[in-house]
A = this chain, B = another copy of it.
Amino acid sequence: MNAPLKVGLLGLGTVGLGMIKVLALNGGEIKRRLGREIVVTDASARDLARPRNVDLGGIRLHADPMAVVNAEVDVIVELIGGISPARELVLAALERGKPVVTANKALLAERGAEIFAAAKRCGVQLAYEAAVGGGIPIIKTLREGLAANVIDSVAGIINGTSNYILTQMAVRGQGFADALADAQKLGYAEADPTFDVEGVDAAHKLSILAAIAFGIPLRFDAVATEGIGQVTAEDIRLAHELGYRIKPLGLAKRAADGFELRVHPTLVPADHLLAKTDGALNAIRVLGNAVGQTLYVGRGAGGEATASAVIADLVDVARLQGLDHSRLVPQLGYAEAAGGEVRVLRFAEIESAYYLRMRVADEPGVLRAITSILAEFDISIEAILQKEPRDHDDALLAIITAPVPEHRCDAALARMLQLPFVRTGASRLRVEHFE
């Protein structure tokens, strides 16, 4: 019989414990697939004394994570997160010829060049399915399943916390602050929610998706990012009436003069599957020039769902361990680097449809003045909605524009805000139609 694959596990948080649980529960089925057992022999955690609701019997526990890297294990699973000490531990494992499976999107997005180069130099596998989309095998899909395609775009709900908050705002009519506080109480959002609600986490994931979709370098630094904190319950209601839902999207697109990498709250047509992905689910739409539109939906977080991806990587690693790199799927999906300069567009250079919302005095001539400004800036109107709420003297005006460069939209909006009957506090969100 084949010897078990011995795993050294760094980090006993949600995903680490989820992995131990799933291996205990599904060990037999996994062995039937792989022909070999997967066993966690060594693990480390910051606080070994902390009570854990999972049986760790048989696992050697270490306070020092480097002791796990140095233990007699076949592969290292890194679930510590963050840049340091994860970076040092991963590099040390690679140097010692140990393959690494990681869920660490921050590390890969921000230090991927260094990490992937080390893996290549050392001739060792580095797998990261769990870094994006939780249990959805989106990395495998992009690197392998859709390998025949020129990928035109990837658009995804890739941060469950933001999606949960916007969904709660829609369902319960809550404001952002209340929905965030509830999400924190329920454990869906961290005490410091910045990474999630400001779009940093989504930008990490998007830069990885874009790299493997287009064969471009990791460009986390260049992702154009806006958080969801600007979205109001009123925006969600108006979007609804206009036939849209507001979703936290990561978008990576091939454009005429470069690549668009952006993360922002987005109006999505209500009948699109992305609009119907609610709660903490993730959904990723990939448009390939041969396959057309494809969509992948599943839990984007959670211990056992993410462990599903980690263990799938372990199965792949076990099968291919020790093979020449030419036998492996290239780390970022491409054997050959992109030729020429890879330009990532700034927000100001991106063309998009927009949703504009403002409060206006309820008097004649308002619509005419607003539409004149739009015409002057050569901005077509796709839809317009004026409402006179019962609890307010002013009217609400919401406009969906045709695609237009951001600077022109902003210039037009600035002009509108100078009109005497337009109140302060306008909102401007992007709209995506997915032809």
Which residues of A are interface residues toward B (Cβ below 8 A)?
Answer: 18, 22, 25-26, 29-36, 129, 134-137, 140-141, 144-150, 215, 271, 273, 276, 288-299, 302, 304-305, 307-312, 315-316, 319-320, 323, 326-330, 333-336, 338
* Beta-carbon contact of A30 and B147 below 8 Å: yes
Q: Are the C-beta atoms of B327 and A26 separated by less than 8 Å?
A: no
> 3 tightest A-B contacts by CB?
A137-B145, A35-B335, A148-B311
Q: From residue A7, how far is it (CB to closest CB) to chain B in Å?
A: 13
Q: Which of A293, A295, A333, A338 has the most CB of B within 10 A?
A: A295
> CB within 8 A of A144: which of B137, B147, B288, B291?
B137
A288 and B276 contact, Cβ closer than 8 Å, known pairs A149-B26, A334-B32, A335-B34: no
- State whether B305 touches A299 (Cβ < 8 A): no
Say yes or no: B215 contacts A32, CB within 8 Å.
yes
Alpha-carbon distance A129/B26, docked complex (angstroms): 25
Of the candidates B146, B297, B311, which one forms a contact with A137 in the assembled complex, judged by CB atoms under 8 Å apart?
B146
In Å, the complex CA distance between A320 and B18 comes to 32
In the assembled complex, how far is the CB of residue A151 from the closest CB belonging to chain B, in whole angstroms? 9
Bound complex: CA A368 to CA B304 (Å): 48
Return A217 CB to nearest CB of chain B, in Å. Answer: 14
Partner of A148, one of B295, B315, B328: B315
Q: Which residues of B contact A323 (CB under 8 A)?
A: 323, 327
Q: Can you identify 21 A-B contacts, CB atoms within 8 angstroms?
A: A22-B148, A22-B290, A29-B215, A33-B334, A33-B335, A35-B326, A129-B145, A135-B292, A141-B141, A144-B312, A145-B309, A147-B312, A148-B308, A148-B311, A149-B308, A271-B276, A290-B308, A292-B302, A296-B296, A296-B297, A327-B327
Task: Write the chain B residue with the least CB distance to A19.
Answer: B148
Contact B290 A26 (CB under 8 A): yes
Residues of B within 8 A of A18 (CB): 290
**Whole-angstrom distance between the alpha carbons of A304 and B329 in the complex?**
23
Residues of chain B with a CB closer than 8 A to A305's CB: 290-292
Q: Closest approach, in angstroms, between the C-beta of A292 and any C-beta of chain B?
A: 5
Bound together, the chains give a CA A311 to CA B148 distance in angstroms of 6
Q: With A26-B150, A148-B307, A327-B320 in contact, is A295–B292 under 8 Å at CB? A: no
Contact of A288 among B148, B295, B308, B326 (CB under 8 A): B308
Contacts of A326 in B (CB 8 A): 35, 319
Closest B residue, CB atoms, query A31: B336
| Contact status B298-A294, CB under 8 Å | yes
- Least Cβ–Cβ distance between A280 and chain B, in angstroms: 11
B34 and A147 within 8 A (CB):
yes
Minimal Cβ-Cβ distance residue in B for A34: B335
Kindly state the separation between the CA atoms of A316 and B31 in the bound complex, as whole angstroms. 23
B308 engages A298 (CB within 8 Å): no
Q: Residues of B contacting A312 with CB < 8 Å?
A: 144-148
Q: Would you give the shortest CB distance from A318 to chain B, in whole angstroms?
A: 10
Residues of B within 8 A of A134 (CB): 291
Apart from A22-B290, A30-B148, A291-B309, what 13 extra A-B contacts exist at CB < 8 Å? A26-B150, A31-B336, A35-B335, A35-B336, A135-B291, A135-B292, A144-B316, A145-B312, A148-B309, A273-B276, A290-B304, A290-B305, A294-B296
